[in-house]
Structure 1
Amino acid sequence: MSLIEVLLSSAVIVAVIQYFQGEKNNKLQYITEERAKWRKEIKEIISEIRIADFQTIEKCLTDLGKNLNAYGYCPDGRYENDKLDFLKDEHIWREMDIIQNAVNEHNMPNFEKSKKNLIHYLFLLLKFDWERSKQEIKGEKAIPISIVSFGMGVIVCVFSRFPLKSIQENLINIFIFIIAFSLPYILLWVIYGIERMQILKAKDWYSKMDKVTLSFILVGVELGAILILAWKWKNFEMIFLFVAIAVLLVPYLIISNQEMYRKYDVSVRKILERRN
């Protein structure tokens, strides 16, 4: 049996592809349906805010509040510009509070100005959510591609390093080899997981490049090890191609995710600066 036949007939790879494909389809369907409903509600609220007056704005703000991140609400109304957490919608809650104060004071100029700012914030929120949906879909596609590509690289590497007839005799050596070979790749996904968790825990995490730098170092270690150890092996080009695709997809996901959040941050700050 040739190496290519082994790869194509691998039940493990087929199972992995089918599993991730099923998971991706289920998640995409749920995300699409729920976010479509949310976007529709926000768009309807924007239309209502645009024509609202002192008497009708309260209902608009109440409906809007139900669709925002409740963790961004400050009961005492003390929102500080330089400490606003945009991912908790604090800037939107702040603008809603300013509108409410304008209503209480019957200050029409401030009322109209804040309505425009609020509408602009909501447009940015819709755009951000749309970009985030696309980013998640991108991740759903890239992650299984990366894992399967790396798995293919490992299989080619094993069969290039150990003759097919001696596989059973070298199971322990093969296991150790796979672990050592996969360690940088596993660490890449650990970094990616930490980066994802920081979305909910750390403010301005997207402005820090330490995870990106570390991920590229691990990419260099993985590809460098292949160049050092495997350049004389058969199918070296195939090994390098599979592994390069797998490892480079991880920092790509980290960078594109950070860039999406960074753009939202910059856009919101422009409105805040204009208001001040």
Structure 2
Amino acid sequence: MDATVLTAILSSSVIAAIISGIVAKKTNDKNMSLKYITEERANWRKTVKENTALLYNQIYSKDQDEGRIRELITHLIVSLNPSKDEESKLDIEIKNTLVAIEEGNRDYKMLEHLRNCISILMKHDWERSKNETKGFGDKKSEDDIKQQTLGEEFYVKQKKQEMQ
């Protein structure tokens, strides 16, 4: 085997090893980031569920603690991402419901509405988290997930408004 062939083979091997190393690092970085984000979102869902349950407990308790109720409502509101665009329609609805509860509207229908909205939010975030862990070909579009989880009240109406 002459030197040029040996040099070419070695050069190709070195280039392949470098490219393989770069791809492995990028894949590892992406997986670590995805793992971190997924864990943080799981913690967020757990916190929202726990605070909602504690809020219900306080409201239905014989010894209501208004300070604790306001604290839980504040924790829930700051855990949301409401903005003024249509993408945040559900977050805005939850925030408005929490404000109404804070102002004293604690009838069964208001509390049931809060529970339903929080349930929709949890389902939506869970489906998004599951989707992010899927491979490229298996992923659903954001619109599909929104339509599947947010339903007519928080998604279809939004789509109709966008079409107008």
Normalising to structure 1: TM-score of the pair? Answer: 0.42
Q: Quote the residue 1:60 is aligned against.
A: 72
Of 100, 103, 107, which aligns to 2:102? Answer: 100
Question: Considering only aligned residues, what root-mean-square deviation do their CA atoms show, in Å?
Answer: 3.2
Partner secondary structure for residue 80 of structure 2: coil
Q: Is 1:39 aligned to residue 45 of structure 2?
A: yes
How many pairs were matched up? Answer: 137
AA of the residue aligned to 1:65: I
Q: Is 1:256 aligned to residue 144 of structure 2?
A: no
Is the Cα–Cα contact under 8 Å of residues 48 and 60 in structure 1 kept in the other structure?
yes
AA of the residue aligned to 1:94: N
Is the Cα–Cα contact under 8 Å of residues 42 and 64 in structure 1 kept in the other structure?
yes
How far apart are 1:84 and its partner, in Å? 5.3
Q: Deviations over 1:178-208 (max 9, x none)?
A: xxxxxxxxxxxxxxxxxxxxxxxxxxxxxxx
- Whichever of the two has the greater Rg, that structure is 1
Q: Quote the residue 1:152 is aligned against.
A: none
Q: Is 1:48 aligned to residue 54 of structure 2?
A: yes
Of 93, 97, 101, which aligns to 1:91? Answer: 93
Give the distance between the partners of 1:27 and 1:258, measured in 2 at CA.
23
Give the distance between the partners of 2:87 and 2:101, measured in 1 at CA.
19
Q: Quote the residue 1:134 is aligned against.
A: 130
Normalising to structure 2: TM-score of the pair? Answer: 0.66
Q: Deviations over 1:124-145 (max 9, x none)?
A: 111111111122222xx42xxx
Partner secondary structure for residue 66 of structure 1: helix
Is the Cα–Cα contact under 8 Å of residues 42 and 67 in structure 1 kept in the other structure?
yes
Q: Greater relative contact order: 1 or 2 (C-alpha under 8 angstroms, separation 6 or more)?
A: 1
- Unaligned regions of 5+ residues in structure 1, if any? 1-5, 73-82, 143-248, 271-276
Q: Quote the residue 1:225 is aligned against.
A: none
- Unaligned regions of 5+ residues in structure 2, if any? 1-11, 156-164
CA distance 1:86–1:17, change in 2 (3 Å): same
